[in-house]
Amino acid sequence: MLKPHRVLIDKVTSYTDEAAAFVRRRRHNRRSFIRIQFQSGDALEVGPGTAEAERIDAAARALIDLT
């Protein structure tokens, strides 16, 4: 039989593990990229930091006011 304080420690440990996993997933998903979907169904992904990405970003910002 587990001691009462051990059950509490196990629950807190479980919650912290879940929180750490959430932060890792969120950090992984927040990497920026640009995906262009063509009418034919093909898609093109452009990574950050390239000249193409900066031109596309500038054009998008001109269309959408992001201030």
Predicted local confidence at residue 40, as pLDDT: 92
Q: Encoding tokens for residue 55? A: 């031109």
HEC profile of the chain: CCCHHHHHHHHHHHHHHHHHHHHHHHHHHCCCCEEEECCCCCEEEECCCCHHHHHHHHHHHHHCCCC
> Looking at the predicted structure, is the pLDDT value of residue 67 above 60?
no
Q: What is the pTM of this model?
A: 0.42
Residues 54, 2: Cα–Cα separation, whole Å: 58
Residue-wise pLDDT tens digits, 1-60: 667 677 778 888 888 888 888 877 776 556 667 888 888 989 888 888 888 888 888 888
Residue 47 CB-half CA count within 13 A? 2
Q: Where are the domains of the chain?
A: 28-67
